Structure 1
Amino acid sequence: MGFVVGITTDLDTMTFAGHESGAQLFGVFQVSVLHNVVHLLFGAVGLAVARSTTGSIRYPQYGGVAYLVLWVYGVIVDHDHGANVVAVDEADSWLHLGLGIGMILLAGVARGLLTPRGAARAPGTPTS
């Protein structure tokens, strides 16, 4: 959505990478072409691994860790410094933290449902 006019404000000021990008998704999250491509690739990987149970559990687990790494990057790097090549701001950092924690929790829930006892407690499972 970071490339969509109307959803992304100041689209004409978007840069390929770096903190100079003035484009903002929903007027809140700073985006650049690189930032958008990273999220698109993240989604493509998710679709590719969704065909297997193992992939469906590992994706949110490892993806959550990746988002936590992005959060640490956003906390450490000065948002107005040249090192901010991904174009993250404070709102992006909070989003990455929430996504990272949420995805890791989701992987844990999914892992628990795949145990024999967990599967028996899953919604929609017939009772005997």
Structure 2
Amino acid sequence: MNSSAAQVTRRSAVALAARTVGVVFLLVGVLGFVPGITSNIGDLTFASHHSEAMLLGLFQVSVLHNVVHLLFGVLGIAAGRGNAGAIRYLVWGGVVYLVLGVYGVLVPHGSPANFVPVNGADNVLHFGLGIGMVALGLILGRRKNLHAATA
């Protein structure tokens, strides 16, 4: 493979990662509104710790929480059209999810400040998503930059 083709392949990896993460977020956002996949759907609130809706029976969701997933999905798909946007989406989106994980740990579950809402399973997932997204953005972005510097 010539250096130009290798560079395109590597650059495409970060864009593909952003699009894939975006599609997953979009899917999760939609599934948060689907009865059966989300239990207690009748108890879904707009934004409150009183929402008893549970995606996959584990993750506490609300309309706001689902809409955030949908927005992150659309942003990821759009950002995945270019490499710079994909890197920014993955890194800064990951930072947002790390902050959300910290928020979930610091804010008591029954507190009105838990308006997103989040529970323990959400916190673990948010930390994992944050670390994974930042890692994808930095590693795949760096591979592209390192290759471009040596080409």
| Unaligned 5+ runs, structure 2 | 1-30
Write the letter of the residue equivalent to 1:87: P
Write the letter of the residue equivalent to 1:18: S
TM superposition score normalised by structure 1: 0.88
| Structure 1 segments (4+ residues) deviating >6 Å | none
Q: Among the aligned pairs, what percent are the same residue?
A: 54
Q: In structure 2, the residue corresponding to 1:86 is in which secondary structure?
A: coil
Aligned to 2:13: none
> Could you tell me which of 100, 104, 121 is aligned with 1:70?
100
Q: Which has the higher contact order (CA 8 A, sep 6+)?
A: 2
TM superposition score normalised by structure 2: 0.75
**Equivalent-residue separation in structure 2 for 1:94 and 1:116 (angstroms):** 32
Aligned to 1:123: none
Q: In structure 2, the residue corresponding to 1:84 is in which secondary structure?
A: coil
Aligned to 2:124: 94
> Could you tell me which of 56, 69, 84 is aligned with 1:39?
69
Q: How far off is 1:112 after superposition?
A: 2.2
**Equivalent-residue separation in structure 2 for 1:94 and 1:60 (angstroms):** 18
Q: Aligned-residue CA RMSD in angstroms? A: 1.5
Number of residue-to-residue matches in the alignment: 120
> Could you tell me which of 115, 122, 129 is aligned with 1:85?
115
| Unaligned 5+ runs, structure 1 | 121-128
Matches within 5 A, 1:1-128: 1-117=31-147
- Asked if structure 2 preserves the Cα contact closer than 8 Å seen for 1:30 and 1:88, the reply is yes
